[in-house]
Amino acid sequence: MLRKILAVIAGLVTSIVTGLGSDVVLRSVAPQLFTASGRVEHVSALLLILSYTLIFLILGGYVTALVARRQEIKYTFALGITQLVLNIIATIKFWETAPAWFHLAVIALLVPATIFGGQLRLMQKAKGDPRSLRTV
């Protein structure tokens, strides 16, 4: 049970640290994309942020599945729900930092992206496990 809790925590930390780290890098490299209040209006910047957010959510799901070792999708789903709750809280707090479509897109894609990361791990695991190969 401890391994499963650690799997969810590992995925959560992975996606949060990489996402926030990328936000910091983007703010330092391209401060002109942000208003004085921190709002992003440029669609290209929002699409970039959405893209790397999805990549890091997938990575978090992958890490969770990797650490969990069994019932990977169950625990990536738990990670996705945990992230969804945290993201809804953050969205409410930081609603003014981006247009509504951006916040809603992240919320809508969050759980599927996380589960996709777990699926990638399962596909990798099946590819390397001779017992999972079927003969014709």
Residues of the chain short of pLDDT 70, as ranges, are 129-136
Whole-number Å distance between alpha carbons of 111 and 97: 22
Residue 64 near residue 111 (C-beta atoms within 8 A): no
What pLDDT is recorded for position 136? 38
Total domains present in the chain: 1
Q: Tell me the CB-side half-sphere exposure of residue 14, using CA atoms within 13 A.
A: 25
pTM of the model: 0.89
| Domain encompassing residue 53 | 2-132
What pLDDT is recorded for position 130? 56
What pLDDT is recorded for position 129? 63
What pLDDT is recorded for position 133? 44
- Region at 40 (left for phi over 0; alpha for psi -120 to 50; beta for the rest): beta
What pLDDT is recorded for position 131? 52
